[in-house]
Structures are given as structure tokens and as C-alpha cells.
């Protein structure tokens, strides 16, 4: 079965959003005919009400074409509240939930595709701490229970459905940043491959890439629709199309001359016809 997803990320509404880029996406999406548009987090800069309101206006505009699938990024959580309200884990997501609902890890089952989110944005927690002070409240982590839950969802899907995992943090090292989005990234990569995902959608790095994990799982990491593009590269978002044989990532690159996105590079990956069985991490006893 054929289908298409539009994948954008890191709008960073607030002082950093580039409205020309946002409007360029809004203008083009109807022609791209996605069955779902995915925004893989960092809708805001500082999780402020006005920033979420602008993000919600974008979502409502995109919903005229197709359902919009949203997850929070590290900029969308009020991580600084955690030390103030130590017994309320939900406090840091309260403002995000006010605008996009309490479900931080939505699932969308559509004809030919199952899209499932795993949360990687937890603010400052033990799991996301590293030895680099730059990582504080920036890096994410992928708890075993999250990837187990997604693996169980993928196990139950119709074998004909493409299995898509959405996370915020980049699961591949950024070419310019030379940084991984997740702490304990090797384990996270192994768990993603084992969970049965065929395609991962992520952002956070603000540089686009289309690659594979372990030559089996296609990774779409899109750029940012903000002024924070890596090395001042033109912004890129992705349209991902699939059929029984392949997964194709079309990159739409911003042209500052034409003030619009233009179809640029296309990356084609062979889709394994044989369904891989998920190796789901065991529950802690």
C-alpha cells in the first residue's frame, strides 16, 4: 500500500521562528497530499503561552489537509519546575498539555501505516544526565519502558502497515553539530532497531539527514523552521512516501531567492518485505 507523510520539526515559535518558512510549509502541504503531518517536537522556545498559541494556530491550519501528529521536545517542557514540584512528574508538561492534550505519546493507526510516539524529553532527570554540562535539560533519553510499549504496539499491528516511530531527539549523530540527541545513544539505537520500527522520525539537531540504522531502520531527521539552522544552512523539511518495496525521503529545501520550498534531494531505501519480529526488552521484575 502506498502513502505519504509530511515531516517537519523544531518550529521554535517565539523569538526564533522564521514565519516565511512556516508559511512556506503551510502553502505547500496541500499539494503534497500527506495522510498525516508529523511535527517532531520543539514547537516553542521557552514553553510560553504565546508560543504554544502560535504553534496551535499552525496545527489548525495544517489540519485542513490531514491529521497532525505532535510530540513535545525539550523546549516544550518546563523542566525548571521539577525541583520546585518534586512529587509531580506531570508538572513540566502541563502547559504543553493545555494546548495539545495530555497524551504525550500519541498513536495514529491509518490506512497502511501505524505512527507511534516515544517520549524522549524529560527535562532534568537522572536518565538524561551526562558528564557534559551543555547537555543539561537539552539531551533526551529513551527509557526501556517507552521502547517496550512501542514494541508491543508494533507487534500487534497489521503486517501490511508501515511501522513508524516518532521521537524528538536525533537518533543519528548530527553532521555539523557532531552531537547525538540521546544519552546512552548506542543502547537507544539498538532498542529502536529491535522494537520493529521501519522508519524513525526525529528532529532536535536542526540539520536534515536521511540515513539508516543498522541498514534496517530508515531515519528521517528534519531541519528547523526557525532561524537556528545549523551553519546557516537553508531549512529543509521532508515528505516521506512508501510502497511495498521502498521508503523514499524527498527533501524540500528553502530557496531564499524564490521565498518558497523546492523539491531537492531524494533518498530511496529498500523496504524489507519480511516483517521483522520485535525484540522487546523484558519488564523489570
Q: Which residues bind Fe ion (CB under 5 A)?
A: 10, 42, 73-74, 204
Measured from the CB of residue 263, what is the shortest distance to Fe ion in angstroms?
A: 24
Q: What is the CA radius of gyration of the chain?
A: 18
Nearest distance, CB of residue 188 and Fe ion, angstroms: 15
Q: Report d(CA 153, CA 5) in Å as an integer.
A: 20
Angle CA(52)–CA(55)–CA(58) in degrees, nearest 5? 155
CB of 174 to Fe ion, least distance (A): 11
Q: Between residues 40 and 157, which has the closer beta carbon with respect to Fe ion?
A: 40
For residue 137, what is the DSSP state?
Answer: T
Closer to Fe ion by Cβ: residue 174 or 196: 174
Q: Which is nearer to Fe ion, 17 or 164 (CB)?
A: 17
C-beta closer to Fe ion: residue 148 or 169: 169
Q: In the bound complex, what is the minimum distance in angstroms from residue 45's beta carbon to Fe ion?
A: 9
Bridge partners, 226 (sequence order): 17
Bridge-based pairing state of the strands 199-202 and 217-221? parallel
Burial bucket for residue 173 (CB in 10 Å: 0-12, 13-18, 19+): middle
Q: In this complex, which beta carbon is closest to Fe ion, that of residue 39 or of residue 162?
A: 39
Q: How far is the CB of 74 from Fe ion (least distance, A)?
A: 4
Outline where DSSP puts E strands in the chain: 3-8, 36-39, 68-70, 107-110, 113-117, 162-166, 199-202, 209-213, 217-221, 236-242, 246-255, 260-270
Beta-carbon count within 10 A of 1 CB: 12
Amino acid at each position: 500500500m502506498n502513502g505519504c507523510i509530511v515531516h517537519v520539526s523544531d518550529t521554535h515559535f517565539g523569538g526564533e521562528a522564521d514565519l516565511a518558512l512556516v508559511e512556506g510549509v503551510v502553502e505547500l502541504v496541500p499539494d503534497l497530499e500527506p495522510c498525516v503531518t508529523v511535527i517532531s517536537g520543539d514547537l516553542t522556545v521557552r514553553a510560553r503561552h504565546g508560543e504554544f498559541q502560535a504553534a496551535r494556530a499552525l496545527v489548525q491550519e495544517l489540519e485542513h489537509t490531514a491529521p497532525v501528529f505532535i510530540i513535545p521536545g525539550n523546549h516544550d517542557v518546563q523542566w525548571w519546575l521539577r525541583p520546585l514540584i518534586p512529587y509531580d512528574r506531570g508538572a513540566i508538561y502541563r502547559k504543553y498539555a493545555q494546548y495539545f492534550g495530555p497524551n504525550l505519546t500519541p498513536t495514529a493507526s491509518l490506512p497502511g501505516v501505524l505512527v507511534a510516539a516515544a517520549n524522549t524529553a524529560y527535562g532534568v532527570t537522572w536518565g538524561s544526565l551526562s558528564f557534559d554540562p551543555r547537555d543539561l535539560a537539552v539531551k533526551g533519553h529513551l527509557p526501556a519502558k517507552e521502547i517496550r510499549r512501542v514494541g508491543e504496539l508494533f507487534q500487534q499491528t497489521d503486517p501490511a502497515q508501515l511501522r513508524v516511530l516518532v521521537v524528538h531527539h536525533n537518533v543519528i549523530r548530527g553532521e555539523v553539530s557532531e552531537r547525538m540527541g540521546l544519552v546512552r545513544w548506542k543502547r537507544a539505537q539498538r532498542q529502536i532497531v529491535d522494537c520493529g520500527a521501519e522508519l524513525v522520525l526525529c528532529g532536535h539537531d536542526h540539520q536534515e539527514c536521511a540515513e539508516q540504522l543498522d541498514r534496517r531502520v530508515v531515519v528521517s531527521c528534519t531541519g528547523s523552521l526557525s532561524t537556528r539552522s545549523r551553519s546557516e544552512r537553508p531549512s529543509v523539511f521532508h515528505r516521506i512516501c512508501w510502497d511495498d518495496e521502498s521508503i523514499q525521503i524527498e527533501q524540500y529545501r528553502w530557496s531564499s531567492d524564490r521565498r518558497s520550498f523546492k523539491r531537492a534531494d531524494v533518498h530511496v531505501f529498500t523496504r524489507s518485505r519480511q516483517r521483522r519480529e520485535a525484540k522487546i526488552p523484558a519488564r523489570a521484575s
